[in-house]
Amino acid sequence: MRWSEVEPFVRAVALIKPTRSPVFASKFCHFLLPAVFPVVDRAVLGNWSRMPYSEYFDSVRQEWLAVDAENRRALTTTMRRRIEAAGRSMIPLYPMAIKITELRRIGRASISTMATGTVGRSSES
């Protein structure tokens, strides 16, 4: 989905708890439609949480679309196997694209914060 298709819903959700941070709206929307909305989590995403949610939404979408179909299948298969190897069963319609992209970003943020000693906060703090 494109931002223009979901923006009215996100704006309505943001009115529930007026704040400049995109965290609440992203978590609320993700709870309702996890395959559509990525979560903004400042603790693991660092500077990604400083951008407007529309930019974050688009960047997650573009990052997934930039992966070719063969690698998407491989990533999805690996994720499914890891979940099942942990003794869990797959939830129907599990938001693979969102979760894989989030995990990639968490990994990047972790490497960056370990290198700079800024674990759990933005490198600009």
Question: pLDDT for 42-91, tens place per residue?
Answer: 766 666 557 789 998 998 999 999 999 999 999 999 999 999 999 999 88
Answer whether residue 15 is part of any domain.
Answer: yes
3-state secondary structure of 64: helix
Answer whether residue 37 is part of any domain.
Answer: yes
The residue-averaged pLDDT of 15-29 equals 91
The alpha helices in the chain, defined as continuous H runs, are 3-14, 23-32, 42-45, 53-65, 69-85, 96-116
The model scores a pTM over 0.85: no
Note the pLDDT of residue 102: 87
Answer whether residue 123 is part of any domain.
Answer: no
Answer whether residue 78 is part of any domain.
Answer: yes
Answer whether residue 122 is part of any domain.
Answer: no
Answer whether residue 121 is part of any domain.
Answer: no
Domain count of the fold of the chain: 1
Answer whether residue 125 is part of any domain.
Answer: no
Answer whether residue 124 is part of any domain.
Answer: no
Residue 32: give the domain boundaries. Answer: 3-116
Question: What confidence tier does 123 reach under pLDDT thresholds 50, 70, 90?
Answer: very low
Closest CA to 38 of 63, 67, 71: 63
